[in-house]
Amino acid sequence: MLVLAAAGLAWLDIGVRRQFEGTRWAIPAHVYTRPLELYAGLRLGQHDFVEMLTRLGYRRVAVPDEQGSFRAGEAQVELMTRANSYWDGHERSRRLRVDFHGGRVRRITDTALGTALPIVRVEARLIGSISPLHHEDRSLVRLEDVPQSLLTTLMLVEDRNFMRHIGVDPRGLARAVWTNLRAGGVVQGGSTITQQLVKNFYLSAERTFQRKLKEMVMAVLLELHYEKHEILQAYLNEVFLGQAGNRAIHGFGLASRFYFDRPLRELTLSETALLVGLVQAPSAYDPRRHPERALARRNVVLTLLERHGQLRPGELASLQSAPLGISTTATLATTRYPAFVDYVRRQLRRDYRDDDLRSQGLAIHTTLDPQVQDAAEAALASTLSELDQARDLAQGTLEGAVVVVRPNNGEVLAMVGGRQAGFAGFNRALDAVRPIGSLVKPAVYAAALSEPSHYTLATLLDDGPLRVEQRGSPVWTPRNYDGKFHGEVDALTALARSYNVATARLGLEVGMTNVVGVMRRMGIERELVPYPALLLGAADLAPVEVAQMYQTLASGGFRAPLRGILSVLSAAQTPLARYALSVDQVIDPAPMYLLNFALQEVVRSGTASALGRSLSPALNVAGKTGTTDGYRDSWFAGYTGNYLAVVWVGRDDNGSTGLSGASGAMRVWHALMRRLDLEPLAQPRPEDIVTVVVDLPSGKLADDGCDGARPLPFMRGSAPREQARCATLAARTPPAPAQRRRPSRLWLDERNVR
């Protein structure tokens, strides 16, 4: 009998310790957006600022004298920021007044000091948690981060002898019974905090004497093995406090976000009282479903606080008359940006060992810009709905992905993995690996334009029928989208109008090795098969990889590795690692200048001219459309001076969308850019670039009689020398190639180009 009891005890002991250890070290890494850099001159209106503060959980109050509160006046916002740590230092909490004028920040004043600030980082918003051990985010808290008022209230209501008892507390039980009898209902619980923790480990709710006994034994065992503060911290993170759909709300940290959309440390005393009151019966007191019961329960707790001298005289009445303060907009923010958080998780996994990620409570500061992200989500969802309706497609079969990057530094500002952006699932931005179609063409022209003695924008290319015989494969006969051949056509027009045959021939001339080399330098790491079909986009890439390619172009040939993470801090806010900016010049300035000129021509007069008509020409937008066989994939990649966005639209079953790059993805791109403040794409002109007026149809120097004369950039020494005589001779003489085209370089020995 004794042996059996000892064995049982040992078994319980192992069980309770395993449970406890399992929960103890699982504080996940928190992921934050980039902070808002607020400075005089920033384009930001008062209304938008107020909306951002609201999103950050700032409360609108009469006098903003608590962290995370604000007051909106006319063309002005007063606020008290929350303290925040960043890699390069700490931004303390400040009282600020921000004045607005003409849709911009006019002035920022630290009202406590009475001085103007040139720049201040307002706040990084928590967008999710990454836990290598658990999938579930519990918004875990450390004991030192828990407000004293919560601990006091909790012990007062649930377990007054917690700091002294050994896991069970007969006196507390007796007192609870007595109090409840006197109150004529359940006011206080009878179990100690330790017992409740044990009960939470074993989720069964059976109320048997045997179970109660087991619970008491385990509580004592727990107390033997662990310190009070360890047990208290585990309890604070483990206690059941409500239900969100099929998800249980465990712990005060998560409950604070779920009910109030604010961190625990910012709760008022009445809000704290409500949370503590919920412990006893979270569903019966559910403040959303039973607000009147919740209010009564909260007021019971407040009365208890008053009776034990925790309130100032007269304070009880004002606290009891306060509304519940339940947030109507609170979501469990962990899933707000699942695609981006997924990206961050993968970058961390790539760069760190699992053991490093297991350290508790890392703070991950990311590049995410919530405004851009929201704009990208809205643009994708609304445009795809319009396309559904316009094309009579089955609702919801169209899918898409968006990646937005800051051109010069490779920071990923936004990432959307599907039209229902808030739902975690197939992350198309990273995992929809699809043929990129004509998006590959800039690599072909970059390779060609890097040889100025052979190719310029005015070089005439042959867009006549092409047959490529490949041993062991069917003959390759590329065709144009319009089904026509265009004869001799200048390189600028061939790229702007996305002519396949001319581009294929050009790519074969410059050589597959060169084209693949350019793609590598643009940042494509995936294996590329150097078959001719690659020249027309038979390369399967994910949107994020395409974004890397186009980042290189958008920054003038300087590849900057795409980054989702800025820095990593420890739980104690100690900087651990920084993802510094690094760039690599992989395309020379002159050919890059010519290529960007041609990609701007795509928007001015080419396949993206619909954009050119709706966006200001002064923005000098550059871009490229992409469409794949059978209209399965619709792509657009384009950039202004401050944003690069890549959009893919297609179907998960790889069926036809009936959309070209311009009629699908480009519309999403446009809907996105319309929501952002755009800066023009300013290309600094390299010293060795000159402008020469040419007659494009002949590829020769234009004279006064040429109708189609236009100024084009050339690398010095590469411009045509021969005069076109448009008015007189051009009509009678067939245009001759303006330049010596380089002899075809056979891409593989046994293959022929005809």
Partner 1 sequence: MSNALVAVAWRGAPSVERWLAAAAVAAATLLGAGCASTPPAQVVERSATAQSAETAERRPAPEPEAIERTPLSPEDAAVGEALPAGASSAGPPVVVALVETAEREAAAGALENAAAALERALAIDPQNPSLWYRLGELRLDQGQPEQAIQMASKAATLAGDDAALRRSSWLLIAHGHRALGDEASAQDALRRADAP
User: Shortest distance, CB of residue 162 to partner 1, whole angstroms?
Assistant: 7
> Closer CB to partner 1, residue 84 or residue 334?
84
Report the candidate in 636, 449, 675, 645 with the shortest Cα–Cα distance to residue 551. Answer: 645
Q: Does 61 bind partner 1 (CB under 8 A)?
A: no
Q: Does 578 bind partner 1 (CB under 8 A)?
A: yes
What is the Cα–Cα distance from 272 to 124, expressed in whole angstroms?
A: 24
Task: Tell me, by CB under 8 A, how many residues bind partner 1.
Answer: 90
Helices (H), 450-511: 491-496, 500-510
For 114: left if phi > 0, alpha if psi spans -120 to 50, otherwise beta; the answer is left
Please give the C-alpha separations between residue 255 and each of 26, 123, 262, 272, 299, in angstroms, as whole numbers.
17, 22, 10, 11, 19
> Closer CB to partner 1, residue 455 or residue 643?
643
Q: Does 48 bind partner 1 (CB under 8 A)?
A: no
> Closer CB to partner 1, residue 103 or residue 465?
103
Binders of partner 1 among 416-475, rule CB under 8 A?
A: none
User: Shortest distance, CB of residue 108 to partner 1, whole angstroms?
Assistant: 8
**CA atoms within 13 A of residue 322's CA, in its CB half-sphere:** 18
> Closer CB to partner 1, residue 640 or residue 718?
640
Longest dimension (CA), the chain: 118
> Closer CB to partner 1, residue 110 or residue 431?
110
Q: Give bridge partners of residue 638 from the DSSP assignment.
A: 623, 645
Q: Residue from 123, 137, 411, 490 that binds partner 1 (CB under 8 A)?
A: 411
Report the candidate in 594, 440, 580 with the shortest Cα–Cα distance to residue 516. Answer: 440
Query: Which amino acid is residue 404, in one-letter code?
Result: V
Q: Residue from 47, 60, 134, 229 that binds partner 1 (CB under 8 A)?
A: 229
User: Shortest distance, CB of residue 91 to partner 1, whole angstroms?
Assistant: 6
Site map 381..410 versus partner 1, x via CB under 8 A = -------------------------xxxx-
Q: Does 326 bind partner 1 (CB under 8 A)?
A: no
Q: Residue from 15, 54, 91, 388 that binds partner 1 (CB under 8 A)?
A: 91
Burial 699-726 (b: 16+ CB within 10 A, else e): bbbbeeebeebeebbbbeebbbeeebbb
Per the CB < 8 A criterion, the answer to whether 196 and 235 are in contact is: yes
Q: Does 716 bind partner 1 (CB under 8 A)?
A: no
Burial 178-217 (b: 16+ CB within 10 A, else e): eeeeeeeeebbbbbbbbbbbbbbbeeeeeeeeeeeebbbb
Q: Does 266 bind partner 1 (CB under 8 A)?
A: yes
User: Shortest distance, CB of residue 261 to partner 1, whole angstroms?
Assistant: 17
Site map 339..368 versus partner 1, x via CB under 8 A = -----------------x------------
- The CA-based angle 452-536-611, given to 5 degrees, is 85
Q: Which one of 69, 123, 129, 158 is the catalytic residue?
A: 158
Per the CB < 8 A criterion, the answer to whether 695 and 726 are in contact is: yes
Q: Does 118 bind partner 1 (CB under 8 A)?
A: yes
Binders of partner 1 among 558-577, rule CB under 8 A?
A: 558, 570, 572-577
User: Shortest distance, CB of residue 447 to partner 1, whole angstroms?
Assistant: 20
Query: Environment class of residue 659 by beta-carbon count within 10 Å: exposed (0-12), middle (13-18) or buried (19+)?
Result: buried
Q: Residue from 14, 21, 22, 41 that binds partner 1 (CB under 8 A)?
A: 41
Binders of partner 1 among 626-645, rule CB under 8 A?
A: 641-642
Q: Does 584 bind partner 1 (CB under 8 A)?
A: yes
Q: Does 113 bind partner 1 (CB under 8 A)?
A: yes
Task: Tell me which residue has tokens 């509580």.
Answer: 219
158 is catalytic: yes
User: Shortest distance, CB of residue 580 to partner 1, whole angstroms?
Assistant: 6
Q: Does 223 bind partner 1 (CB under 8 A)?
A: no
Q: Does 616 bind partner 1 (CB under 8 A)?
A: no
User: Shortest distance, CB of residue 368 to partner 1, whole angstroms?
Assistant: 13
What is the Cα–Cα distance from 142 to 236, expressed in whole angstroms?
A: 9
What is the Cα–Cα distance from 438 to 273, expressed in whole angstroms?
A: 61
**CA atoms within 13 A of residue 727's CA, in its CB half-sphere:** 5
Q: Residue from 37, 48, 652, 722 that binds partner 1 (CB under 8 A)?
A: 37
Binders of partner 1 among 305-324, rule CB under 8 A?
A: 308-312, 315
Q: Strands, E, within 532-640: which ranges? A: 540-541, 558-559, 565-569, 575-578, 584-585, 622-627, 633-639
Q: Residue from 7, 581, 729, 736 that binds partner 1 (CB under 8 A)?
A: 581
Point out which span in 470-478, 513-521, 583-591, 721-729 binds partner 1 (CB under 8 A): 583-591
Report the candidate in 33, 32, 120, 35 with the shortest Cα–Cα distance to residue 77. Answer: 120
Catalytic residue numbers read: 158, 438
